[in-house]
Structure 1
């Protein structure tokens, strides 16, 4: 038995491994090696349990010989990962009339009968799979309740309750083995990340009674807070109880001394001291914060199990960091223990997981965090609410650039349409604004300023809701929140990550506020500054519209002269904030009609501002509308056909660089041309930008350098990257539009059917959420290889939203990219993911 690989007594040298016997069995062996007071235990391997499910029992008598003849037993599941779950534990196996009689003498008739009754009910429900309702009619307590339970069992099964320990144990083992193989159980654990063929082990342990004449009970103890991860001895203890009853018992005692009531520490100080010492030893030797499951039987302490402490995201970080600080684990292992995406919960406010949730609807979790406010239905109302100091939630069918000021004013955004890379999602992540898009189970009635839920509730402007952008839900009211936790543990983790990673991390930042956030999160520069967002600020939009309506090139230049100092100020701020870090500024990208009002009232206001007839304004706007704006007159096409815009922007960039370089290190701006498809486009823009650079040098008397590159976001640009690279210092792949054009999918509309496509395995994952390695990835590889072949020193990066995705970062590292750029609030996630990839490579 001791050396049988499939049915083995748990000893220090037994052939037990997590991969063959499960985590619980391996943990119990480790506790045995530490000479902790663990009751005798037999472990069954995955193969043994699989054999039991097929109808082949192990040698039950041989198993029972490992325990005293009168010992009661319990059986617990032991899966490879505790999070995968398993069948319910069965306690007090071996209970029968004879054992009941002995316990009546030692414990008293009522407690002994209660134990027997509990076993009968547990056996019936979990082993024989009988309906729990069969015990509803039981009245009374003690021996009377026991007899009623046995009678109910006999009526239901038409057989007497099994009386021998061997018979009971065999039934329990068969039931638990078959339960693991059931369809529901398999689907449930697969949803938790378990492979389809995951195995189950079982541990058979001698019961250490938490019931007795002396001080007896059961409980759990841990050395840290599950909520914060900070040192705090916590847990629960319930007198005269078994298993994990203490977690659910209203009469549980405190663990440490507490003014509110009696505690384990006061009741049995020696056992308490031993328990704390055992927990500290487990932490040091098992290299993890463990929750200790224990029993006290007549003043004697027994350790039944040790499980990894359940923890929040902030506790996950602090526990890993503190273990490394204490030299329990190396820093590299601490980094590997934190899932990058869990950092999202530290960077933003979150709904407390224990708070009551009244869910109104759900959609795509587009930008993490949570916020509460009153519903508003226009950007103007959002700005008005902000001016009054009222928190608001902006509701739109879908957002457009015209809504950006409202988004800045709101605390969160929800939209009826859109996907993970829609306008609202991208801007929301950039601002750190909670955002849920593609909400299909709420009816948006924006003209009425109302939302209608599927259960018939109607919400109007001014009603208070909470947006949970982490989980993609809309909640009624204001549930309790948890504040961000960027503490010393987080900072240490980020510093360690930076020491390990081997790929640069920049941020997409459009405003000085975005840039400051990126700087605070230690981004290594700005990888994408979308300049068009600057034109929607108050005082600029009207000037921009005046430029659009200008009839001649000279008229456009005259209007743009008024925008020049505004742009220059923006760029000076960006350069100063980034303090010498690179700043990559994308030239104007969207079609001009996006800056024009679409409603009659807005067009009337514009006509009055420009002193033009309303009919002229309406006609001009209609003439600029495009059937497919995404593929129309935008990006470099505007730079070629309306060159005055790019000329003004280049002048503003160079003047800002000269100004920001005074008294410090020279600023080397990076200028990026969007939506390129042909080499000639780059040549034309470059010649004009070079001319502006020469003019600014002549005007200021200051020599400066700059880098000009291309945003590769069309398939043709990726395929012709070799030609384009001859005129570019860098290639930055805009994976949002590149994915859109490669698939022929609108990123704003794909959310309507994408879940169906993923569910039916048309796509493995939403390609706007996770980079499509096979399709879009091949274009990236072709483009980078051809670009490097033509120009070996060219800088390669991605600046689409995929840049913050750990799987996409892995691809970019393997493809030899120099850096990735992502939303400011995703920078810490990217830093940690990049570090883990570098560490994993070293381990392999």
Structure 2
């Protein structure tokens, strides 16, 4: 009878244990949530007739019970339920658990619903003691084999269950010390060279070490061993490495793990035995070749732990041709059944093949694309399934510059890995350290590759960021200024690298906990995909796709990944309903976005246009003007710059929509901070130093992000809005006269009430009409607003009356809704994610329950007033696949993201449509 708990109301037993054996099982592959991935696939393999050793799965519900009830178990689990499940295994094999004459040995393995390879614990050969080991020796006629299993079991159980594992990774493992000492004494190198007598002595020494180090005696009772192993598997769900892996892969902590108990089969009984791990296709390249490794006379950990050097799976065809033929047939069966590339584990016992595990195999981004397209062409899947097989983020690996992996690994092994930060801008970059933007620009002009290293960046760093290969910051999060601009520019970025201490005055960067000091001009390398910072230079190159699309240095026919990428994007555009725009401020950024398939610009941040050359000088003169006349004089200097900027942007985008946000950030961001810079500015303005410094002090705000910025600037200083709208409309009129029709979308930022938008919209319309009349040219334009304040979201019905479109600024909307600074939240968000306060960083992926609800309410209210109201998002969430899926469900028209995120968003939008 299936086990476990009896419901008092309906007298129905709740099933906690699911059995499987050759030809039948109580579960199947669809039950991953309950049985975990390993248990569900063991059941599925048993159901389709593959040679699976019998066993049973303790469901994930027992793990959640375990944590909810102070490390206890459902009633009768160990008293009757597990013994009853064990009896079915005993009957299938004619062996008995704990029997000194014919013992059944078992493995106890973890298995979460999402694959977490190597993160949780496993115990093999469970059931051995001083009596059963003799029974195993007699039954197998191989005492050495029996004591080898016992040695392995005591070591694994002592480590995993009894806690004999060094607290400090630098300390030597006591078990390894004993083993190495015995091998040295005997003058042997390999474990396989140890005889029965030596293995008996090692077991004795292992048990002694356990008692000395832990104060606990190694348990002889197999049932006690089993209960300890099951508890250890559940405990391993919350070990440090499992928690880190879950955070990185957004796996909720409440899922828990299943526990799989399975009869042992032995790959270490002799030369006709072995074990291996394989993939049905090459997981690195996607090539349709059988790929993997094996060892003869070995158990599974020998392969995965690198204890011995394994052999390529092709060698098995030479050494055991019949086994290889069977395994190759199973490879085909599994691919046909699962219609995917599979990762398998197998054991050969005395010439008989057994399957221990299968799961959908982990693969690189390029391999994922190739496998999906190849399987479509092979008729295994259709184009919809092919799209659903690829995680959108895997496209990054095709688009970003790359390091040679062998050279990078060699650098790490040589001790050049300095620190790890947030992988804020994927890709690889190498260059010379520069601590300020001016020096970066100068060094770049000399032809040097530059890495801009800052404590944190600001808009004033834009010129340095623009010329840098990569950006490294000590502070800041995934949506910090550095991260946002880097992604928009397609720059590599490692942000929030707290292990670094940057000193601008000394021109140096120190690494915490070491004597390492790097100075300006030293070479450094960034891996923005992993967040690694490496001393010295490493060679990089653009990906094939970028070389074809952006650089034009490679022909499509010479890029093997191009056809696969092109096919995938064709399918994505066929099924997606969301439009994909890009965040871009300059014609070159816009051109890059177009090559990646952008259908418009969803956010042009006009403040980025005011840095560099004479622009910043005119901007500062405008801000520090003592009267309206001075301000207008400065604004007129800015007008031609703005007009040319918009002309170039419109011309690049053609008739596609371009959303231009009016000036948004606090004015202090444009002003100098040091006395030296203030002095230079005063001289240029022809004003006393003390007067300029006093004016800058007058503009100081205690909380500038909630101060004089956005629409408030335009209402207080309408001449700024007039200048920007005049520049937009004059550029549009010029292009209209040249025969190109553009439709500017003018966006008002930081609106919180309908009157703010009405006042600003009235000024926009008045200015636009004046330009059109003066130019004698008709130009269509839209006026909308950025919804980034909670009050605006909940009063959207009022605001929509004056708006042609809403664009949700999810970066600030998240800050204001959660009351969290996106740049400072890195201090506590990792802990929040660890405690499941947030499953994902809300600045990376939209907080659907909070921010998402505001967006959905706002969209519905806005369209209740204007059914054709255009809706989109323009925060960096626009390139996050989960956020794109939300936007699809919320009925938005488009998402906008960094140019290099456009392909990711296209694929994510297609997947959202297919999953809807």
Task: Please classify the TM superposition score into its range, dividing by the shorter chain length.
Answer: 0.7 to 0.9
Shift of 1:706: 0.9
Residue 407 (structure 1) aligned with residue 465 (structure 2): yes
Residue 503 of structure 2, aligned match among 420, 445, 464 = 445
Residue 144 of structure 1, aligned match among 197, 207, 213 = 197
Residue 111 of structure 2, aligned match among 79, 84, 89 = 79
Contact between 1:229 and 1:318, CA under 8 Å: does it hold in 2? yes
Contact between 1:121 and 1:149, CA under 8 Å: does it hold in 2? no
Partner Cα separation in structure 2 for residue 2 and residue 363 of structure 1: 49
Residue 10 (structure 1) aligned with residue 21 (structure 2): yes
* 1:839 corresponding residue in structure 2: 914
Alignment of 1:80-95 (within 5 A): 80-81=112-113, 83-84=115-116, 86-91=120-125
Residue 66 (structure 1) aligned with residue 59 (structure 2): no
Partner Cα separation in structure 2 for residue 9 and residue 682 of structure 1: 66
Ranges in structure 1 where 5+ consecutive residues have no aligned partner: 159-166, 257-262
* Cα pair distance change 1:756/1:129, threshold 3 Å: closer
**Farther off after superposition, 809-818 or 532-541:** 809-818
Partner Cα separation in structure 2 for residue 809 and residue 727 of structure 1: 27
Partner Cα separation in structure 2 for residue 338 and residue 201 of structure 1: 29
* Cα pair distance change 1:152/1:549, threshold 3 Å: closer
* Cα pair distance change 1:327/1:195, threshold 3 Å: farther
Partner Cα separation in structure 1 for residue 285 and residue 795 of structure 2: 52
* 2:512 corresponding residue in structure 1: 454
* Cα pair distance change 1:664/1:460, threshold 3 Å: same
Shift of 1:514: 2.2
Partner Cα separation in structure 1 for residue 724 and residue 273 of structure 2: 78
* Cα pair distance change 1:10/1:676, threshold 3 Å: same
Secondary structure in structure 2 of the residue aligned to 1:496? helix
Shift of 1:769: 3.9
Shift of 1:510: 1.4
Partner Cα separation in structure 1 for residue 838 and residue 287 of structure 2: 42
Shift of 1:584: 0.5
Shift of 1:508: 1.6
Shift of 1:446: 1.4
Shift of 1:528: 0.9
* 1:43 corresponding residue in structure 2: 56
**Farther off after superposition, 320-329 or 423-432:** 320-329
* 1:24 corresponding residue in structure 2: 38
Residue 299 of structure 2, aligned match among 242, 254, 276 = 242
Q: State the TM-score, normalizing by the size of structure 1.
A: 0.85
* Cα pair distance change 1:226/1:76, threshold 3 Å: farther
Secondary structure in structure 1 of the residue aligned to 2:772? helix
Residue 438 of structure 2, aligned match among 372, 376, 380 = 380
Residue 234 of structure 2, aligned match among 170, 181, 199 = 181
Alignment of 1:540-689 (within 5 A): 540-548=615-623, 556-557=631-632, 559-661=634-736, 666-689=741-764
Residue 736 of structure 1, aligned match among 811, 818, 829 = 811
Alignment of 1:109-148 (within 5 A): 114=148, 117-118=151-152, 133=174, 135-136=178-179, 138=182, 140=186, 141-148=194-201
Partner Cα separation in structure 2 for residue 749 and residue 34 of structure 1: 53
Shift of 1:121: 5.1
Per-residue CA deviations over 1:547-602 (Å, capped at 9, x if unaligned) read: 44666656655554554443333223322332322110112223444333222222
Residue 78 of structure 2, aligned match among 54, 64, 67 = 54
CA RMSD of aligned residues (A): 4.0
Shift of 1:208: 5.3
Partner Cα separation in structure 2 for residue 25 and residue 480 of structure 1: 44
Shift of 1:525: 1.2
Contact between 1:294 and 1:303, CA under 8 Å: does it hold in 2? yes
Partner Cα separation in structure 1 for residue 823 and residue 253 of structure 2: 34
Contact between 1:264 and 1:272, CA under 8 Å: does it hold in 2? yes
Per-residue CA deviations over 1:497-523 (Å, capped at 9, x if unaligned) read: 333333333222112232223223322
* 1:467 corresponding residue in structure 2: 526
Shift of 1:388: 2.3
* 2:285 corresponding residue in structure 1: 228
Q: State the TM-score, normalizing by the size of structure 2.
A: 0.79
Count of aligned pairs between the two proteins? 823
Partner Cα separation in structure 1 for residue 783 and residue 147 of structure 2: 84
Secondary structure in structure 2 of the residue aligned to 1:513? helix
* 1:393 corresponding residue in structure 2: 451
Per-residue CA deviations over 1:92-125 (Å, capped at 9, x if unaligned) read: 9676335435655xx7x76676566545655666
Secondary structure in structure 1 of the residue aligned to 2:483? helix
* 1:163 corresponding residue in structure 2: none
